[in-house]
Structure 1
Amino acid sequence: MKIAGAPISWGVCEVPGWGLMLDRDTVLAEMSELGLTATELGPPDYLPTDPTELKALLGKYNLTLVGGFLAVALHEGNAAEEANRTASLLAACGAEVLVLAAATGLDGYDERPALTDEQWRTLIRTAGEIRDTAAKYGLKTVLHPHVGTHVETRAEVERFVKDSDLRLCLDTGHLMIGGTDPVALAERYPDRIGHLHLKDVRADLADEVRAGRLGYTEAVSRGMYVPLGQGDVDIAAVVRLVREAGYDGWFVLEQDTALDERSPVDTPRLDTARSLHHLNQTAAGR
């Protein structure tokens, strides 16, 4: 298995006011110490945007770059420049995948205005255009169903699969929070899974978010995301299904985390270590 990390597991997020941001050397060093050999890019400007500088920084910690998350307002149809810039950086550093999300255009993931049918058609068209741009750089593009974006709910995931030919990033946590069973999705669309983000979540808090009784950011701060094997996602079934379907891509460990000054400094490292152990045990059939 190709297992990678992501800065969000260390609380590094693109949302303003999300929490304490650990410095990049601490995050990358701890990834490397855990035995991870690759990472995703993280939020804009967290890691260097100059390819030479970025490759040197990752090389210092014996890490390679898997890909990067690009959340843009696809329904507005004007994301070409940002997509080109991101794809260029990813390709120059040897990455494989651009992880696209249908952002609302608002800060954070707590509000989600409804789209018109025309805006949805623009979203589908723009996603295809970004896919074509990334392909020119040798990258594949996947659409990431994500809480607080315009592809979040089960109905929206199904609509996107029907209307677009892009593959999906199967994010076990965001899918479950949005109302899609990740196991059922892996069973129903095995040929549409192009990338994997492994998360575990507490179903009780996920239910509160889905019902609108609790904001996403608050739920994260209450510990909605937990190390693999400690929540309510059937991680073993997801791993088994995608491997049986011939998935040969990365398994990215992502535990969305929000830190503050009271957070124990070793929490991200210890939680990621627990997830890594669980994933290795799962893959070995234990």
Structure 2
Amino acid sequence: MKAKLGMSPIAWWNDDLLELSEDVSLEECLRQSRSAGFTGMEMGRRFPNDPDVMLPILKAADVTLCGGWFSGTLAADGDLAANKDRIRPMIELFKAVDAPCIVYGEVGRSIQGDRSIPLATKAVLSGDEMKAYARKLTEFGEWCAEQGMPLSYHHHMAAVVQFEHELDAFMNHSGEGIPLLFDAGHMAFAGGDVLRVIDKHHARISHVHTKDVRMAVLESLDWNRHSFLDAVALGAFTVPGDGSLDFGAIVRKLADHGYEGWFVVEAEQDPRQSPPLKMAQIGYKELMRVLTAAGYSVETQGFPKS
């Protein structure tokens, strides 16, 4: 089985909490992650949107683009046409740089980006609303795939698909046209059983975020007072090897079901308290340990050699 290791630039610059960011250039971010061993990087706010500009930067860093977040609004407006118009330039960019997928993150009716709104007040879809939403996402995912770029759906804290039972409902009512991004950290934060989720939904998992959590921080949260961004600022997330989750068991479970592809470290933290290069090195070392033990062969080549 083959695996690829990538990172998210959120360890260097946070898009929602700008104070949790270092004044680090894109080139330095890529250099640090590549020096730690990672061959891929997901897109962040300091990436250029022109493939003719992005490709030389990726090539110089020996790194490929391994994904990137799209803020979808289908849970709020159900407007397929508007979301197609917004994602179309991203599809063309990702095709031009040979990225594997676009990460669909739902921001419609979500409170994930508002620090003033506590976790306990997130929106809850009715059964009929979830069914309609899942079907709309399937249609959108099928359209994106027809344009040449598949989506991967990101279940997420503070969004309409947060809890395990919400993910189960979404998966039950959606189709193969919308593959799943499995994020162990978000599911653990929501109180779900991360191994059970893999067992149930492995056939649709196309992308993996290896986000770890600090259980002591999660257990200290007051969901009636703290927001998702409060939890981030308090240090709820970290990299594999520095948190509470058993990534050996998680990776073995994915291997048991034949998952191959990207394992991406996406751990938003304060870079002053958790230096990104150091955290990248810790995450890479732990992932290499558990992936090798599970029988994976990890790809070491970054930017494709012409």
Give the TM-score, by structure 2 length. 0.83
Instruction: Measure the CA separation in 1 of the matches of 2:103 and 2:244.
Output: 25
Counterpart of 1:125 in structure 2 is 135
Structure 2 residue 90 is matched with structure 1 residue 86:
yes
DSSP 3-state at the match of 1:99: strand
Question: Quick check: 69-78 or 151-160, which moved more?
Answer: 69-78
DSSP 3-state at the match of 1:82: helix
Counterpart of 2:61 in structure 1 is 61
- CA distance change for structure 1 residues 20 and 33 in 2, over 3 Å: closer, same or farther? same
Cα shift at 1:230:
2.7
List per-residue Cα deviations over 1:114-156 (Å, max 9, x = no partner): 4455653453233223312321233222211111211111221
Instruction: Measure the CA separation in 2 of the matches of 1:16 and 1:119.
Output: 31
Counterpart of 1:25 in structure 2 is 27
Counterpart of 1:2 in structure 2 is 4
Counterpart among 255, 259, 276 of residue 268 in structure 1: 276
Percent identical residues: 24
- CA distance change for structure 1 residues 88 and 209 in 2, over 3 Å: closer, same or farther? farther
- CA distance change for structure 1 residues 81 and 118 in 2, over 3 Å: closer, same or farther? farther
DSSP 3-state at the match of 1:74: coil
Structure 2 residue 283 is matched with structure 1 residue 283:
no
Aligned partner of 2:147: which letter?
Y
* Structure 1 residues 198-209: aligned runs within 5 Å: 198-209=210-221
DSSP 3-state at the match of 1:247: coil
Counterpart of 1:176 in structure 2 is 188
Aligned partner of 1:108: which letter?
G
Aligned partner of 2:254: which letter?
V
Q: Let me know the Cα RMSD of the aligned residues.
A: 2.3
- CA distance change for structure 1 residues 104 and 212 in 2, over 3 Å: closer, same or farther? farther
Which segments of 5 or more consecutive residues in structure 1 lack a partner in the other structure?
A: none
Cα shift at 1:18:
5.0
* Structure 1 residues 8-157: aligned runs within 5 Å: 8-10=10-12, 12-15=13-16, 17=18, 19-21=20-22, 22-43=24-45, 46-75=46-75, 76-78=77-79, 79-104=83-108, 108=113, 110=115, 111=117, 112-115=122-125, 119-157=129-167
Which segments of 5 or more consecutive residues in structure 2 lack a partner in the other structure?
A: 295-306
Counterpart of 2:263 in structure 1 is 251
Instruction: Measure the CA separation in 2 of the matches of 1:83 and 1:18.
Output: 28
Give the TM-score, by structure 1 length. 0.88
Please say if residues 7 and 40 of structure 1, whose CA atoms lie closer than 8 Å, have aligned partners that are also in contact.
yes
Cα shift at 1:216:
2.0
Aligned length, in residue pairs: 279
Structure with the greater relative contact order (CA < 8 A, sep ≥ 6): 1 or 2? Answer: 2
Counterpart among 162, 165, 171 of residue 172 in structure 2: 162
Cα shift at 1:203:
1.6
List per-residue Cα deviations over 1:39-85 (Å, max 9, x = no partner): 11124xx2001111111111120111111111221221231211222
Cα shift at 1:273:
0.4
DSSP 3-state at the match of 1:58: helix
